[in-house]
Amino acid sequence: MRWSVPPFFRRWQGVNVFTRHIIILLTLVILLLGTTLGGRLLGVFAQSPCAKGDATYSVRFGDTLSAIAMRNRTTWQRLASYNHIANANLIFPGQQVCIPGKGSRGGTGGSGSPGVPGGSRQHFVSLAMQDALNVGFSPNVFVRQINQESGFNPSAVSPAGALGIAQFEPATASSLGVNPWDPVQSLQGASRLMASYVRQFGGDIAKALAAYNAGPGAVQRAVMLGGTNWRNFLPAETRNYIRVILG
Check if 149 is active-site: yes
Taken as a whole, the chain contains a residue count of 247
The long-range contacts involving 204-208, CB below 8 angstroms and separated by at least 24 positions, are 205/138, 205/141, 205/246, 206/231, 206/242, 206/246
Active-site option among 54, 131, 149, 182: 149
Asked whether 134 and 192 are in contact (CB, 8 A), the reply is no
* Residue 160 CA: distances (Å) to CA of 172, 227, 235: 13, 29, 15
The residues assigned a catalytic role are 149
